[in-house]
Structure 1
Amino acid sequence: MKLVIAAVLLTLFIVVKAELTLEQLKKLKVHRENCIKESGADPEVVAKARTGNIVEDPKLQEHLLCMFKRIGFMSEEGKIQRDVLRRKLVDVIKDEELADKLIGECVVEASTSQLTALESFKCFFTKTGLPIV
């Protein structure tokens, strides 16, 4: 996948003005804490990923996979659930057309579920600035 992600731009976030509700933020915090425990990811690495400093770390990849599963973006088998992803994106960004565009650009099935979660997260973060990890 292109490494346009390396710059981790917040361009669409500024345009979209996506905001998470307090309830969504609380759920994400619980998911994050549980996934850090399950994956063994370094909390500092996770915190940096939430600001766009995403490193190639197998435990971070496991953390992202865990988050994607808990949020419902991926099935237990590690497959992207586009319908769930679309619904949740629309809830946050309030724009169906943009949600479809983001899914089209960011959901790429990689060789493993972990890499699919990583690459998808990088792209979504780059495009929206939403720190779902």
Structure 2
Amino acid sequence: MKSLAVIVLVLTIVSLSTQLTEEQQQKIKQNREECVKETGVDPVLIDKADQGDFSDAPKLKCFAKCFYQKAGFLNAQGEVLIDVVKEKIPAEANKEEALAIIEKCKELKGQDACETAFLIHKCYFENTHKKAAEPAPSA
């Protein structure tokens, strides 16, 4: 996966303003590998999702759930653990903007925990990447 941070919601939110430590990168890689094994998802689908091409594949949805749970951001029912997410927003990030995106996306619900995690991830991706794609204001 070209940008491992994309799959983790808080890391996605702050990826515009921070660099991941080597330890964070290794943990993300480890979680990705474990979740690929657990779900049987084709890694190509993860790479495509990283670029904004979201497949409706059930295994990809369960990968999102697995990954967020390993990161500590979701419980077994697929509910966002908002206090954990807030704690992991780095000090240098735009906390107000990050919290607004979290609030917007956290209420999405799918038919099961896998779909809920997937919908939340897609929402975060679309909101953080839309912001990154906006042109800088003119002086």
TM over 0.5: yes
**Contact 2:17/2:93 (<8 A) preserved:** no
Q: Radius of gyration: which is bigger?
A: 2
Q: d(CA) in 1 for partners of 2:16 and 2:54?
A: 22
Q: TM-score, normalised by structure 1?
A: 0.77
Does the Cα contact within 8 Å between 2:106 and 2:120 map onto a contact in 1? yes
Match for 2:53: what amino acid? N
Higher relative contact order, chain-length normalized (CA < 8 Å, sep 6+): 1
Specify the alignment match of 2:9 in structure 1.
none
Q: 1:66 to 1:112 in 2, by over 3 A?
A: same
RMSD: 2.4
TM-score (normalizing by structure 2): 0.74
Q: Tell me which residue corresponds to 1:80.
A: 80
- Count of equivalent residues: 117
Over the matched positions of the two proteins, sequence identity in percent amounts to 32
User: Residues 16 and 93 of structure 1 are in contact (CA less than 8 Å); yes or no, is this contact kept in structure 2?
Assistant: no
Report the CA distance between 1:94 and its aligned residue: 1.6
Moved more, 58-67 or 72-81: 72-81
Q: Quote the residue 1:103 is aligned against.
A: 102
CA distance in 2, matches of 1:85, 1:100: 9
User: Unpaired runs of 5+ in structure 2?
Assistant: 1-11, 130-139
Q: 1:102 corresponds to which letter in structure 2? A: I
